[in-house]
Amino acid sequence: MNRTGLMIILSSPSGAGKSTLARRLMDWDPTLSFSVSATTRPPREGEIDGVHYYFSSRQQFQTLVETDQMLEHAEVFGNFYGSPRGPVEKAMNDGRDTLFDVDWQGGQQIRASALGGHVVSIFVLPPSLPELERRLRSRGQDSEEVIAGRMLKSRDEISHWAEYDYVLVNDDLDRTEADLRAILTAERLRRDRQAGLGGFVKKLMAEEA
């Protein structure tokens, strides 16, 4: 099959449930390829290199950018984040879809990238900002100052909602997960995503009925 994989961009402010939703989507569809980001930020407790992030030094990261091995990258709170190009190209050539957990800057750069694949972009909104702040606090991992910074970043992130194909309001995780599944199912059923369809119809019409 000559199908080219989709690039599925999932963005949302921190705390709106994006990572949980991404993980659930990966569990639902084992053929999905998750684009593990590279970052210069130090690992948090429990984070595994190559699973949650590729942890790298600033110099390593800089080299990857300069040699065009980053599909997109951006600086957030003084740390660099980026999506390595190699795994995405491989998945797409294998006809597998890739899921990106990136912010609006990453989304814009992936859309603009010349990988030639179909891009599907989804923005997840929180039901409210106080609810978002509550979720950030309940993690118990950040200081007041960090939370204030995240909330500012969240507003900046939300301001880009209109750049996305789909918008979900995550007031119920199960419902939002079902919506994500529906979007992925539907996008794969679009005529122009089904590479083998022309051949199928040709064969169908050649049959003696």
Instruction: Note the residues at the interface with a second copy (CB under 8 A).
Output: 123, 125-126, 128-130, 132-133, 151, 155, 158-159, 161-162, 164-169, 178-179, 181-183, 185-187, 189-191, 194, 197-198, 200-201, 204-205, 207-209
- The span from the CA of 154 to the CA of 167, in Å, is 16
Q: How far is the CB of 166 from a second copy (least distance, A)?
A: 5
Question: DSSP string covering 30-51, please?
Answer: TT-EE-PPEESSPPPTT--BTT
Between 11 and 37, whose beta carbon lies closer to a second copy?
A: 11
Which of the 8 DSSP states describes residue 193? G
Q: How far is the CB of 131 from a second copy (least distance, A)?
A: 9
Between 66 and 192, whose beta carbon lies closer to a second copy?
A: 192
Q: How far is the CB of 197 from a second copy (least distance, A)?
A: 6
Which of the 8 DSSP states describes residue 18? H
Question: How many residues comprise the chain?
Answer: 209
Q: How far is the CB of 67 from a second copy (least distance, A)?
A: 36
Between 60 and 159, whose beta carbon lies closer to a second copy?
A: 159
- The span from the CA of 28 to the CA of 65, in Å, is 33
Between 114 and 162, whose beta carbon lies closer to a second copy?
A: 162
Query: Which tokens belong to 203?
Result: 């064969």
- 114: closest CA among 66, 65, 72, 164? 72
Q: How far is the CB of 150 from a second copy (least distance, A)?
A: 10
- 20: closest CA among 135, 106, 151, 165? 135
Between 81 and 164, whose beta carbon lies closer to a second copy?
A: 164
- 102: closest CA among 114, 93, 113, 94? 113
